[in-house]
Amino acid sequence: MGGNTLGDRFIVTSFGESHGRCVGSILDGCPAGLPLNESDIQPDLDLRKPGQSSITTQRKEEDKVEILSGIFNGYTTNAPICMLIWNKDSDSRPYDKIKTIPRPGHSDYPAMVKYGGYADYRGSGRFSGRLTASYVMAGAIGKKLLKYVLGIETIAYTIQIGEISCGKISFEKAKENRYNNEVRCPDPDIAEKMKESIMDVRKSGNSLGGIVECVSIGLPVGLGEPVFSSLESDLSKALFSIPAVKAIEFGSGFEGTKKTGYENNDLFIKEEGKVITLTNNSGGILGGISNGMPLTIRIGFKPAASIAKIQRTLDFSSDSLIDLQVPGRHDPCVVPRAPPIIEGIVSIVLSDHAIKAGFIPNVLRGY
Amino acid sequence: MGGNTLGDRFIVTSFGESHGRCVGSILDGCPAGLPLNESDIQPDLDLRKPGQSSITTQRKEEDKVEILSGIFNGYTTNAPICMLIWNKDSDSRPYDKIKTIPRPGHSDYPAMVKYGGYADYRGSGRFSGRLTASYVMAGAIGKKLLKYVLGIETIAYTIQIGEISCGKISFEKAKENRYNNEVRCPDPDIAEKMKESIMDVRKSGNSLGGIVECVSIGLPVGLGEPVFSSLESDLSKALFSIPAVKAIEFGSGFEGTKKTGYENNDLFIKEEGKVITLTNNSGGILGGISNGMPLTIRIGFKPAASIAKIQRTLDFSSDSLIDLQVPGRHDPCVVPRAPPIIEGIVSIVLSDHAIKAGFIPNVLRGY
Amino acid sequence: MGGNTLGDRFIVTSFGESHGRCVGSILDGCPAGLPLNESDIQPDLDLRKPGQSSITTQRKEEDKVEILSGIFNGYTTNAPICMLIWNKDSDSRPYDKIKTIPRPGHSDYPAMVKYGGYADYRGSGRFSGRLTASYVMAGAIGKKLLKYVLGIETIAYTIQIGEISCGKISFEKAKENRYNNEVRCPDPDIAEKMKESIMDVRKSGNSLGGIVECVSIGLPVGLGEPVFSSLESDLSKALFSIPAVKAIEFGSGFEGTKKTGYENNDLFIKEEGKVITLTNNSGGILGGISNGMPLTIRIGFKPAASIAKIQRTLDFSSDSLIDLQVPGRHDPCVVPRAPPIIEGIVSIVLSDHAIKAGFIPNVLRGY
Amino acid sequence: MGGNTLGDRFIVTSFGESHGRCVGSILDGCPAGLPLNESDIQPDLDLRKPGQSSITTQRKEEDKVEILSGIFNGYTTNAPICMLIWNKDSDSRPYDKIKTIPRPGHSDYPAMVKYGGYADYRGSGRFSGRLTASYVMAGAIGKKLLKYVLGIETIAYTIQIGEISCGKISFEKAKENRYNNEVRCPDPDIAEKMKESIMDVRKSGNSLGGIVECVSIGLPVGLGEPVFSSLESDLSKALFSIPAVKAIEFGSGFEGTKKTGYENNDLFIKEEGKVITLTNNSGGILGGISNGMPLTIRIGFKPAASIAKIQRTLDFSSDSLIDLQVPGRHDPCVVPRAPPIIEGIVSIVLSDHAIKAGFIPNVLRGY
């Protein structure tokens, strides 16, 4: 299986480049009988697309999805679903420079070495954040499938931008408010401060990172396969494919490493005939397998690498240090655009596992 | 590919149970021509094995590796290498209880549901930390291969136990000292404190978690495949297969999410004809691909779930809450046993990527 | 890996339907640095496309390939290459009937059961011979890659139509003449008779089958992996994905089962410093691995199932036998359209194995 | 996935060498809840093992299977099942010769080149027919699983040895009689002649090939995935991993290529409420998917390559032609030992597809 493909049964292959003709994905293995058309996918793409606000890149793209295959009479057929968005507003001129001056913090240098100069460097090519649109398309189908068959819901939202973070937020509040502001933080006051801090760094030609939290509810007990395909294993593999992600934790995560077992263990009780745990330090995963509690993940994004601020770095053509001001249009902080991507990626992995574990049949009948 | 298998070209399949006949692994795809025998594997197994000190489980196992296939005249042949250790000191009696009283923080409950009661629950079966011996065996071969062909070295060591942590440690110091004490922390003073804290919680029937750091040096530029098979993706997938791991970060990780791009970007310079970066906040990975700088990972372990301290939890047979004192022999903190496992797992993933990226040929000639 | 994907390193995913918007494929894993554009692919598509002569279906399709990704400045980049042809002349009206009267010899019945009525049955949907265009597109790239790097050439040609067959043909003669006539038989006299026999069955509303032979020269010694990925294993897997293929043999094949070992063994000699065999009953494969001699395969096609002649078969809507005259436009014999498909499929498998065995690097430099 | 592994969900990895310590396999993905112990596997191994009669190799091996993992309380647990037989009667002395004089018709030459001299050549190492014991072990579990859950039965039997062949044989007769004689041909008179012909060639230091037919009944409609994972694709891939197999056909196969569509199409009727076809030229597969009729395959074996008769072939050490008399103990005809191997291989592939298509759940309850 190539690096551009994810999943065993719900299988996503990403294709396209930032400044090529299009960005797309093929989803193979979606069960037959799911009602589906472009309108199931477009809303998530709209939440991800650039140029929506003052705190994102000013590249303007309509990002209108087209489904090329795999749907018949309004239903999935189990055949591969090829989907894409066309690139329309790419401006490749600023990228000539990075052929010899790799941007600090960017893939330019290793990509140049690895691909012997053949890689498409325009707009970062295959390394562009724009590629995540392909995850969003397939993810939207996973999201619908999980909701349709199992009632699973996945939400992601910003909980930290730079030094500013918000407190604990309930699932319901987060679900309702996460897309009500430009930074995708469910707490409106904190969101305002986050936005200001992004506007500030933008002005100074700098950038910020942050943390997104993702919660899924409604998981059955039993998703995840021992040993190398644990739920944490497959979720982290998928999430680290999002550019700028450098850290991931489940449940109490790094904080939990400081607790004792007595504090961190979640005790079982029975409530309304259902086994639950009193706390959820496990983040809904025990032994790599879902335990029915909310799946809780936190994903750390480094600050965006492309900054206008002058950096003293190597010019490979002359082997001398120069002052680089990264050209092009860039996000001062990628975190606000990440929630729909993360919801999509997580939905892809959960769909894959739900099919593998036998919770979703090959043909959907009678839903 | 099943969940018990890892890798595309350097492929490890784990088998065996904690209280079954053996624990083993098959390594398929190791290039032909690597000199290899049991003595290349045994030292790492010895570092992992139980019963070595007062702060680990008292189960006594020799853990002597046997190679059953794939070696001829002292060299690998590219055929599958089957290796195993026999289980000798298992005591399954205490595990009858967990059939109806799943241990808090453990895989018992989801495993019971997922496998319909057929899972081998003795000593946690396939969910036991003992399974990691299979990673260590294959990992030792990966370690040797990487050293032999590319000069890559990987070391892992404890940097935090509970609330006690050590400061920054140089590669050389860590390499030299990490296995000099029972907690595997290269700083001897901190190590002493860590050991005391583990002895303390053991006495109170409780347990601790912690953090292991792993550094690899000598990586060529170009390991890692876009997009879903980035180096972070594949390393995290493999590392999360170690029981109790709940958090992973690369380079500046979660701390880096608070920095600005200007602070976090690593500037390129040339030193002795080689491109390096002034800092290493990226942890040696840019755009999912190695950039030649030290690969730096931190892995967070939750406190061990099996504790003697009484926990009030559900008895599934009576649907009532009872006081559970987990029986059996357990580690009060798994972190000290983790470094050889992590070195092995990381070596497996790097071997896989080095072969995929063309840095290691199918047949080793003239080394 | 899903059923729509083939290969480990040179990986083809087929998508599209006969009467949907398009038929396409994604090729992942093509080394960077191969000069490539649409004109490398179009000639093979032209040889496959329908409506070219009086002995093929009268559906008219331009089948003009578009490359959507993976090429930059005229070279491959190692990123996924998405290619497609649009469907323009589909006529789905005749297919309403097969919803309740599955055509004898066709996929209609098992597809209906397997996909619970959701499969796209228009023009046979995913089971259409038209899907093979996706193999031809990826295959043309494989063909170019093998020629460019290793000098490998693959040719396929008709050697039997119904009862009419031609004698042994040299590689050079076959290479030169195979596409000089409509049936793709390198012997012009036999070709004429084959064509007549096809025109005859067409008139009577019937159909014919036949055999295609495929020969590849220039293979290095060492393609093929033990044990389940032998060259015969992977070639046959790929070739049986062509609709109507029901038999495959290598070298002396079924005829060889009647020989003695002394007769069938190919003796080694050295000629011009190269090890060759005096005969080639092995078809160029020993122990599943190429031995440097010409790879020789024969592929048997059943007669086309869609015939105008009346067949007495089951009407599922009434559970009664009826007289079916299969509607739509169909090939009276698919064999003449098979050679470019087989050349493509074989080139895909050989490319995959050549990369796996280390004969083609990830980046092509200096060719 | 490596070449030593087969399957997506019911996954077999073969390991071991002919003259190494053992031959074994790991089966991953077997559903939990199948009653299983060594006695389910031993009978098929006994049917395959050498030294049983005057017409097989005189190597004596007990071939007693040991299960090392994956079984608990007499049931499968879904964990990997590691099984092996130990090698006891290997005599490696005669194989020194083939280091420089590759046997005609054998893997020696390409293996030597491919593995740079590191391959284990003793008893043909990984290329030995003895490796098929690993298929038989996993196959026996597949066979039991298919029978237990779906009532599927698979039988294989010799229908041709050299020039001697038997006529059409009913499933019931073949099932009853196939193992009643040493050549595994259900027709006792023909079997006698076959045996004589093998004894004859043995005397003259020569060898014979032949054909095995395999029939499976009880398949549900719907096994097989489009397009590259058709039932024919996956069966042929697996069957070509058996040494000496050079030809495979389904249903009317090569003979069918001479028929017209009208003759070859199988007409649908309904009998006792079940859709069947009047004839079975399709061999039970339409469009790559099972149609519920008996699966029918014919597998062609070349004559055994290792013969005592003198062959004039190349000595690589001197680059001169010499007279080679192949040393060691060998089968004069491998066909009589093939039926249990083929039954196993086919059962593995059908199990894999039955799980993929949803006919066998992950946990077997209430059978």
For chain A, the average pLDDT equals 95
Residues of C in contact with A70 (CB under 8 A): 15
pLDDT tens digits, C245-257: 999 999 999 999 9
Average pLDDT, integer, range A26-50:
96
Is the CB of B365 less than 8 angstroms away from the CB of D22? no
Residues of B in contact with D22 (CB under 8 A): 68-69, 82
A357 vs D8, D358, D362: nearest CB: D362
Please name which of A232, A225, A170, A211 lies closest in space to residue A333, comparing C-alpha atoms.
Answer: A211
Please name which of D234, D213, D206 lies closest in space to residue D300, comparing C-alpha atoms.
Answer: D213
Tell me: pLDDT of B113 over 90. Answer: yes
Residue D23 DSSP SS3: strand
From residue B320, alpha-carbon distances to A270, A325, B314 in Å are: 8, 66, 6
For chain D, the average pLDDT equals 95
Is the CB of C254 less than 8 angstroms away from the CB of D3? no
Angle between helices D231-239 and C231-239 in degrees, nearest 10: 170
Strand (E) positions, chain A?
A: 5-6, 11-16, 22-28, 66-67, 71-72, 75-76, 81-86, 153-161, 164-165, 210-217, 245-250, 268-271, 274-277, 285-286, 289-290, 295-301, 311-315, 320-324
Residues of B in contact with C79 (CB under 8 A): 226
Angle between helices B132-150 and B338-356 in degrees, nearest 10: 50
Average pLDDT, integer, range D205-233:
97
Tell me: pLDDT of B279 over 90. Answer: yes
Position B167 confidence tier, pLDDT thresholds 50, 70, 90: very high
Q: What is the CA radius of gyration of chain C?
A: 21
The per-residue pLDDT for D59 is 74
Sequence-distant (≥ 6) Cβ neighbours of residue B113 within 8 angstroms: A221, A222
Tokens 């994903």 correspond to A299
Average pLDDT, integer, range A170-198:
97
DSSP H or E stretch at residue D246? strand D245-250
DSSP H or E stretch at residue A176? helix A171-177
Is the CB of D226 less than 8 angstroms away from the CB of A361? no
DSSP per residue over C129-145, as a string?
A: GGGHHHHHHHHHHHHHH
The per-residue pLDDT for B330 is 83
Assign residue D19 a region (left: φ > 0; alpha: ψ between -120 and 50; beta: otherwise). Answer: alpha
Distance CA D137, CA D143 (A): 10
pLDDT tens digits, A242-283: 999 999 999 999 999 999 999 999 999 999 999 999 999 999
Tell me: pLDDT of C56 over 90. Answer: no
pLDDT tens digits, A105-145: 999 999 999 999 999 999 889 999 999 999 999 999 999 99
Tell me: pLDDT of C15 over 90. Answer: yes
The per-residue pLDDT for A191 is 97
Tell me: pLDDT of D123 over 90. Answer: no
The per-residue pLDDT for D84 is 98
From residue C1, alpha-carbon distances to A5, B141, C13, D229 in Å are: 9, 28, 10, 10
Burial of B244 (0-12, 13-18, 19+ CB in 10 A): buried
The per-residue pLDDT for C89 is 80
Interface of D with A (CB under 8 A): 1, 8, 79, 226, 357-358, 361-363
Residue pair A140/A85 in contact by the 8 Å Cβ criterion: no
Distance CA C345, CA D268 (A): 32
* Sheet of strand C22-28, all strands in order from the earlier edge strand to the far edge: C5-6, C11-16, C22-28, C81-86, C66-67
The per-residue pLDDT for B327 is 82
Angle between helices C338-356 and C231-239 in degrees, nearest 10: 140
Backbone angles phi, psi at B122, to 5 degrees: -65, 120
Sequence-distant (≥ 6) Cβ neighbours of residue C279 within 8 angstroms: C266, C267
The per-residue pLDDT for C138 is 98
Is the CB of A17 less than 8 angstroms away from the CB of C80? no
Average pLDDT, integer, range D301-310:
96
Backbone angles phi, psi at C9, to 5 degrees: -120, -30
Sequence-distant (≥ 6) Cβ neighbours of residue A165 within 8 angstroms: A159, A190, A211
Is the CB of C226 less than 8 angstroms away from the CB of D312? no
The per-residue pLDDT for A1 is 67
Average pLDDT, integer, range A224-247:
97
Pairing state between β D268-271 and D274-277: antiparallel
Is the CB of C362 less than 8 angstroms away from the CB of B358? yes
Torsion of CA C349, C350, C354, C360, to 10 degrees: -100
Residue pair D278/D183 in contact by the 8 Å Cβ criterion: no
Residue C146 DSSP SS3: helix
Strand (E) positions, chain B?
A: 5-6, 11-16, 22-28, 66-67, 71-72, 75-76, 81-86, 153-161, 164-165, 210-217, 245-250, 268-271, 274-277, 285-286, 289-290, 295-301, 311-315, 320-324
Residues in chain D: 367
The per-residue pLDDT for C50 is 79
Which chains neighbour C (Cβ–Cβ under 8 Å, 3 or more pairs)? A, B, D
Tell me: pLDDT of A60 over 90. Answer: no
Interface test with C, best of D5, D100, D114 (most C CBs within 10 A): D114
pLDDT tens digits, B47-61: 998 777 777 777 788
The Cα angle at residue D320 between residues D318 and D324, in degrees rounded to 5: 100
From residue A252, alpha-carbon distances to A232, A347, B331 in Å are: 13, 21, 21
Tell me: pLDDT of D109 over 90. Answer: yes
Is the CB of C243 less than 8 angstroms away from the CB of D2? no
Tell me: pLDDT of B1 over 70. Answer: no
C116 vs A9, A11, A32: nearest CB: A32
The per-residue pLDDT for A111 is 96
Which chains neighbour D (Cβ–Cβ under 8 Å, 3 or more pairs)? A, B, C
- Alpha helices, H only, chain D: 42-48, 108-114, 132-150, 171-177, 188-203, 231-239, 253-256, 261-264, 338-356
The amino acid that residue D6 corresponds to is: L
The per-residue pLDDT for B59 is 73
What are B20's two structure tokens? 């079954």
Distance CA A73, CA A96 (A): 46
Min Cα separation D281/chain C (Å):
9
Tell me: pLDDT of C1 over 70. Answer: no
pLDDT tens digits, C192-245: 999 999 999 999 999 999 999 999 999 999 999 999 999 999 999 999 999 999
Burial of D210 (0-12, 13-18, 19+ CB in 10 A): buried
Distance CA C27, CA C7 (A): 10
Tell me: pLDDT of A328 over 90. Answer: no
Q: What is the CA radius of gyration of chain D?
A: 21
The amino acid that residue B174 corresponds to is: A
Interface test with D, best of B6, B77, B137, B352 (most D CBs within 10 A): B77
Backbone angles phi, psi at B324, to 5 degrees: -105, 130
Min Cα separation B275/chain D (Å):
35
Domain ranges within chain D, ordered by starting residue: 5-356
B314 vs A275, A281, A306: nearest CB: A275
For C121, the closest chain A residue by CA position comes to A72
Sequence-distant (≥ 6) Cβ neighbours of residue D260 within 8 angstroms: C162, C201, C206, C207, C208, C303
Average pLDDT, integer, range A310-333:
91
- List residues bridging with B260 in a β-sheet: A208
The per-residue pLDDT for A110 is 97
Is the CB of C240 less than 8 angstroms away from the CB of D222? no
The dihedral built from the CA positions of residue A67, A68, A70 and A71, taken in this order, carries a sign that is positive
B22 vs D15, D69, D77: nearest CB: D69
Sequence-distant (≥ 6) Cβ neighbours of residue A57 within 8 angstroms: A50, A51, A329, A330, A331
The per-residue pLDDT for D283 is 98
Residue B68 DSSP SS3: coil
Is the CB of B11 less than 8 angstroms away from the CB of D5? yes
Min Cα separation A57/chain B (Å):
16
The per-residue pLDDT for B354 is 98
Is the CB of B127 less than 8 angstroms away from the CB of A287? yes
Neighbours of D73 (CB within 10 A): 9
Is the CB of D261 less than 8 angstroms away from the CB of C208? yes
Query: What CATH superfamily classification does D5-356 receive?
Result: Chorismate synthase AroC (3.60.150.10)
Tell me: pLDDT of A56 over 80. Answer: no
pLDDT tens digits, D70-93: 999 999 999 999 999 999 887 878
Please name which of B230, A291, C106, B5 lies closest in space to residue D26, comparing C-alpha atoms.
Answer: B5
Min Cα separation A44/chain C (Å):
23
What are B26's two structure tokens? 């098959």
Interface test with A, best of C82, C90, C131, C363 (most A CBs within 10 A): C82
Is the CB of C109 less than 8 angstroms away from the CB of D236? no
Distance CA B306, CA A262 (A): 9
Residues of D in contact with C345 (CB under 8 A): none
Residue pair A165/A211 in contact by the 8 Å Cβ criterion: yes
Average pLDDT, integer, range B139-157:
98
The per-residue pLDDT for C327 is 82
The per-residue pLDDT for A94 is 77
Tell me: pLDDT of C76 over 90. Answer: yes
Distance CA C318, CA A296 (A): 54
Tell me: pLDDT of A30 over 90. Answer: yes
Residues in chain A: 367
Neighbours of A85 (CB within 10 A): 25
pTM metric for this prediction: 0.97
Average pLDDT, integer, range A299-314:
96
